[in-house]
Amino acid sequence: RDGYAWWVERVRRIFELVDYVRIDHFRGFAGYWEIPADEPTAVKGRWAPGPGEALFKAIARALGPLPIIAEDLGVITPDVDALRKEFGFPGMRILQFAFAGDASDRFLPHNHEPDTVVYTGTHDNDTVAGWWATATDHERHFARGYLATDGHDMPWTMIRAAMASVADTAVHPMQDVLALPSECRMNHPGQGSGWWAWRFQWSQVHPWHAGRLAELVRLYGRAPAAN
């Protein structure tokens, strides 16, 4: 009725604070699971159409090009993928998810596409060091072979794999740059307290961290083109 004015102003304000916005549960904008208010669980419900292209067209008319990353994890139907591609929003690939299956897994770097953002892990994942400590035997065997590693430096091995991906953007949580354990993970979905508390200290950061990242940026051509 009002041209999605609330959404437009919310996104406008976010872009005053950050350069890129990641939309969580992007699939809900194409279709969402509607549950009656008196249902005690989410089992009984129905799929309802989301606002779809009308919302993003309204935001784009007001704000111009939208530097948005679409969280397209889980079961993604063709309408969700079509909406993402219509507006040029890159999807996501999470390396920690890559080794539970086989060579066809879409999270493996050789299956990535340019219009994606590759993460070693997100705020909802364990740190790479923590993930590796609890990985299954299959994941360990597959990852060692795929990444040509003995597993002794998995955070930076995964950072290198992300940098080598054809994904246009690579993201590495600070916990992985610092090779920190599970105690430093950001969040654990489904657990309501005790999270979002981790902060890094500048005393943890050393010049070699920047040097190593810079080396990988140069090696895999991720440096911005010179003017």
The predicted pLDDT at position 226 comes to 61
Token output for 62 = 């007001």
**Residue 89 confidence (pLDDT) above 80:** yes
Tens of pLDDT, residues 103-146: 999 999 999 999 999 999 999 999 999 999 999 999 999 999 99
Are 95 and 131 part of one and the same domain? yes
Q: Give domain status of residue 208, yes or no.
A: yes
Catalytic annotation present for 150:
no
Are 25 and 54 part of one and the same domain? yes
Q: Give domain status of residue 81, yes or no.
A: no
Which domain, by its residues, includes 6? 1-75
Are 25 and 114 part of one and the same domain? no
Q: Give domain status of residue 206, yes or no.
A: yes
Among the candidates 49, 75, 101, a domain finishes at: 75
**Residue 18 confidence (pLDDT) above 90:** yes
Secondary structure E strands in 39-141: 46-49, 68-70, 91-94, 116-119
Are 71 and 96 part of one and the same domain? no
- The single residue listed with the structure tokens 């309408």 is 79
The predicted pLDDT at position 38 comes to 96
Are 176 and 68 part of one and the same domain? no
Q: Euclidean distance between the first and final Cα of the chain, in Å?
A: 45
Of the residues 71, 72, 139, 176, which is catalytic?
A: 71
Among the candidates 9, 43, 75, a domain finishes at: 75
**Bridge partners (DSSP) listed for residue 91:** 116
Q: Which amino acid is at 99?
A: F
Query: How many domains does the chain divide into?
Result: 2
Of the residues 79, 81, 115, 124, which is catalytic?
A: 124
The predicted pLDDT at position 1 comes to 84
Catalytic annotation present for 168:
no
The predicted pLDDT at position 181 comes to 98
Q: Give domain status of residue 226, yes or no.
A: no
Tens of pLDDT, residues 173-198: 999 999 999 999 999 999 989 899 99
Catalytic annotation present for 115:
no
Are 66 and 125 part of one and the same domain? no
Integer-rounded Cα Rg, in Å, for the chain is 19
Tens of pLDDT, residues 30-46: 999 999 999 999 999 99
Tens of pLDDT, residues 49-88: 999 999 999 999 999 999 999 999 988 999 999 999 999 9
Are 61 and 17 part of one and the same domain? yes
Residue 226 has what DSSP assignment? P
Give the mean pLDDT of the chain. Answer: 96
Are 94 and 71 part of one and the same domain? no
Under 8 Å between Cβ of 85 and 30: no
Cα torsion 37, 39, 44, 45 to 10°: value is 0
**Bridge partners (DSSP) listed for residue 92:** 117
Among the candidates 50, 75, 100, a domain finishes at: 75
Q: How confident is the model at residue 227 (pLDDT cuts 50, 70, 90)?
A: low
Residue 22 in 3-state DSSP?
A: strand
Are 100 and 58 part of one and the same domain? no
Are 45 and 20 part of one and the same domain? yes
Of the residues 24, 113, 183, 215, which is catalytic?
A: 24
